[in-house]
Structure 1
């Protein structure tokens, strides 16, 4: 059958469904049938699944013209999805097509949810088309004879590639593909990605840099102009001093008519706590919604989440309050309206959520932006421009993830075993390991066979044996079983209990916050100032402190930070506040705030960096406005506090949000001295950052993930998982051993690299400092807090006071500030 006849089969089926294929679908079919690899860029709900399932089935017909009488059994194509929840829908789409054209291809699913009976059936006889996850694919690679299972596979599709890129699951995928290219020489690799900024690089990471696969590939863009309408919900009365403490609930009454006028609405919140509160408050104030409104977030059990997803699809629910748990995946054709509560912190996330409404080709998406405080309207204005210009963030790929490489090589050793001279060139062909040196690869091989230089005396770390013919092989059944149980394990952040030294439980706090403190540091918790004595296992031992300045904990829910693109868009929008014309309706609505800010201080322009200082009963405040996002501000605030303390002994309390950060002290900062000594320099940035943030403690926490992924620490058996505190104490022990006896250990070094590159975003911090160095620094000594500083200083109060007390306190503060 020639290409035209094959395409006619697909066209006929589309006509039977009452559809017409999109140009991008036809382009994908042609490219695939020409033997090309590729990346398909298409928005959610545009028919991307049929672009590749159809191509795969047509290729099968082309290779097997007598398929109706002579069907060869065995695995022919693999579809990778990062979300187990999507696998059923992908299976239904594939079956609908193969049954519709009468091709005898079977479709199967293999994920963590697949039962033992189904797995056993698949072991005897694989389906023709398999839908699986990156972790389950690696489990298949750990089975003996995997090469025979995959030898006839001619297609592998990696769905939602933008979600895997820039994560360790993405690195797992790169390594699996490098092996399958060798095992199945006729393999065609395709990725499907929603819009990201660096699509060309995304294709390069998927297919491997400098490879023949990349040279014989295409990038197909759907070019479906998804119409997105952004509508801001503007408060009737604009608060002059905005604050974040009310989670946007002051606009709840404005959201209700929108819900009532829609068949179905998703209300996206940024945190689980905010999701719970909005759900409760809607029912409290509008009890008539009982039975018509539900909640969906990651902590809710799986059965309830599935029920909610089906109820939305069946239109039995009027509204769902949710978090990012509904960002991806489930195909909700009927959702009519989206309400975004608070800034989504990134353009891609905002567009992904917007795409949940009008979730069908050609339909307009409508998204309402509900600001939790007035200044977020600047974000709304910036997002509207980003949507028009289609400015989307990049996803930055990982480099040299030695923990994932250790896990992968052990996986191969558990199955058939491997010869380094065959496998290492494959590994080096991936994007992640393109710079892997002979010394590094030798270190990794030594690690899996003798367990690192400092662990040579312990037999339990000698997992892989080198056989007489040079093959690296795991021969111990216990080692193989433990390894299979741990494939793909990525450790989540742990909750630690806070206790007084003399006993007495105070509550729980997240580990990532405690990891940045050192003994003697004072932090606020449960309305008290506490001094950290020590961290023992997963307990934070503290004693009361009389110090007035303290660090304020922030929870993981509040950790979403601006992307670098979002920060840039926000700064550009803010500079528009000084313009005479061309302002959006959001910026016009903010006039009262801008006028007051201008009267008390300034609104910085493109070449200006603003610092404000003022005194309140809490002490001396210094506020800095880089507009770079909370992660960068946290690191920059600590860095600046450390550098100032080198000039004169002074201690600070640090508060920050996405717009700026505050240093609060009980003594006045000599700001002229700060300016004269060029404290915003990028010189000595790395060493100063290490000293200012207790980077060793942060790396120690990061090392726990590295230790688990690389198999140094075992997480336990399914019915007897190890507690977080045991994992932490075991990994800390290794960390200390490597620090003292083997500082060049690659896994030990990796913990520091990941801390600086991913947690502290050192690259972004460096760029921010370079920008500030080239700006005109304007220091404004103010008499009292300004509208821009108000959200930052009230954020610090949120952690000390209940929401009722906070509202009262802020009311008093606002009354004071409103006085002329």
Structure 2
């Protein structure tokens, strides 16, 4: 049937998604789309105001297409090998004719072929410059083709061997030893993660350090984050000049007075402690009073940015023999708890050393998030197929095989 009004609970985190949702109402010739957004927190209200501003000024999320995805390339090359024997250079020309692979380095292409041969998916005659399929390649290809990643469940066990529930792989990818989470109305602390098993101990009375939805959360888009930063800067400028920001909210942004008062009150609480707000040139780092040295970093640039920056901070701390007790993220920043204090004034110097990428890569290689992504890639590239013919590989065997492949090629 027809829809007269769309009601959305919370911000969709994307300008494009918001327009798509709004467009479901009045979806007929001459119809006018109408929607109402219900914020679930002050930060969410601020984001929705920025979202409305972006829509009215015609902003749109920029589409970004993945390029040179080697796991998909591996799947493609296995498919080619089923058709006939290929000249290596001829197959390279065919692959790079596709726009996402137009800049594919030849060395990367050869390494993918070499990996497929090593894992017995294809054979290669380097002297004749040819490759072709191996025995079960066709069966593996047709029963595993696709790019949707598997989502295995993990079993949760206490120290006495009692199983207390299951967790999705997306949620487990955000867990670290020592994290506290809520499961079945009780809180548990992570002791270790082994294969498809999460070992825990009861943590009665402790507040969860990982929200139950964090594993599935999508990041706010870069374009919407820019709208949030611009709104913050504009209102902060008015506040510094001792002007009433209600002028912006009701006059410029067209908000009704109750919403304008709510946003204004939220800003007044912030400026009671500082006039500083994040911008494209400014990230706020503050230490808060807590039993352990705790730092809150505010960026307002989206979860994806904060995830990378937070793990970079954790990697820097680990390199200095500082234990990271807790690391949690949201769209506006992250919180990190350490075993020892760090000098905040020295943090900008770290980025001048030029080794941030190496530090982040080293830290992520040991994380559950990297292990989860590697399992997905090993499946997508058909190095570790989920099905062999009509038989489906068990989650335990799948993860064990993924770990074997990861350890094997990490040592090479």
Query: TM-score by structure 2 length?
Result: 0.81
Matches for 1:341-356 after TM superposition, within 5 Å = 341-356=9-24
Aligned mates of 1:729, 1:713 — CA distance in 2? 10
Asked whether 1:596 is paired with 2:269, we answer: yes
Which residue of the other structure, out of 471, 490, 506, is the alignment partner of 2:148?
490
2:335 alignment counterpart: 662
Q: Could you tell me how far 1:472 is from its partner in structure 2?
A: 4.7
Aligned mates of 1:575, 1:444 — CA distance in 2? 47
2:192 alignment counterpart: 533
- Give structure 2 stretches of 5+ with no counterpart: none
2:101 alignment counterpart: 433
Which residue of the other structure, out of 220, 240, 245, is the alignment partner of 1:562?
220
Give the 3 Å change call, closer, same or farther, for CA 602–703 of structure 1 in structure 2: same
Q: Could you tell me how far 1:648 is from its partner in structure 2?
A: 7.8
Q: Could you tell me how far 1:365 is from its partner in structure 2?
A: 1.3
Aligned mates of 2:310, 2:128 — CA distance in 1? 57
Which residue of the other structure, out of 733, 736, 739, is the alignment partner of 2:407?
736
Which residue of the other structure, out of 36, 60, 64, is the alignment partner of 1:392?
60
Asked whether 1:622 is paired with 2:295, we answer: yes
User: Which one scores higher on RCO, CA 8 angstroms, separation ≥ 6?
Assistant: 2
Give the 3 Å change call, closer, same or farther, for CA 556–469 of structure 1 in structure 2: same
Give the 3 Å change call, closer, same or farther, for CA 642–700 of structure 1 in structure 2: closer
1:715 alignment counterpart: 386
- Give structure 1 stretches of 5+ with no counterpart: 1-314, 316-333, 456-460, 743-820
Aligned mates of 2:147, 2:308 — CA distance in 1? 29
Asked whether 1:375 is paired with 2:38, we answer: no
2:74 aligned counterpart, secondary structure: helix
1:582 alignment counterpart: 248
1:504 alignment counterpart: 162
Which residue of the other structure, out of 282, 302, 305, is the alignment partner of 1:632?
305
C-alpha RMSD of the superposition: 3.5
Q: Could you tell me how far 1:699 is from its partner in structure 2?
A: 3.1
Give the 3 Å change call, closer, same or farther, for CA 615–350 of structure 1 in structure 2: same
Aligned mates of 2:74, 2:39 — CA distance in 1? 46
Which residue of the other structure, out of 376, 400, 405, is the alignment partner of 1:705?
376
1:663 aligned counterpart, secondary structure: strand
2:345 alignment counterpart: 675
Give the 3 Å change call, closer, same or farther, for CA 628–679 of structure 1 in structure 2: farther
The answer as to whether partners of 1:523 and 1:551 remain within 8 angstroms in 2 is: yes
The answer as to whether partners of 2:81 and 2:122 remain within 8 angstroms in 1 is: no
1:365 aligned counterpart, secondary structure: coil
The answer as to whether partners of 2:327 and 2:336 remain within 8 angstroms in 1 is: yes
Aligned mates of 1:360, 1:432 — CA distance in 2? 36
Aligned mates of 2:37, 2:76 — CA distance in 1? 44
Matches for 1:48-197 after TM superposition, within 5 Å = none
The answer as to whether partners of 1:381 and 1:587 remain within 8 angstroms in 2 is: no
Aligned mates of 2:364, 2:89 — CA distance in 1? 42
1:375 aligned counterpart, secondary structure: helix
Matches for 1:123-522 after TM superposition, within 5 Å = 315=1, 334-448=2-116, 451-452=117-118, 455=119, 461=120, 463-464=122-123, 472-474=131-133, 476=135, 478-515=136-173, 521-522=177-178
Aligned mates of 1:658, 1:500 — CA distance in 2? 32
Aligned mates of 1:608, 1:462 — CA distance in 2? 50
Give the 3 Å change call, closer, same or farther, for CA 699–693 of structure 1 in structure 2: closer
The answer as to whether partners of 2:303 and 2:332 remain within 8 angstroms in 1 is: yes
Q: How many residues align?
A: 392
Deviations 1:6-58 (A, max 9, x none): xxxxxxxxxxxxxxxxxxxxxxxxxxxxxxxxxxxxxxxxxxxxxxxxxxxxx
The answer as to whether partners of 1:630 and 1:659 remain within 8 angstroms in 2 is: yes
2:99 aligned counterpart, secondary structure: coil
The answer as to whether partners of 1:522 and 1:532 remain within 8 angstroms in 2 is: yes
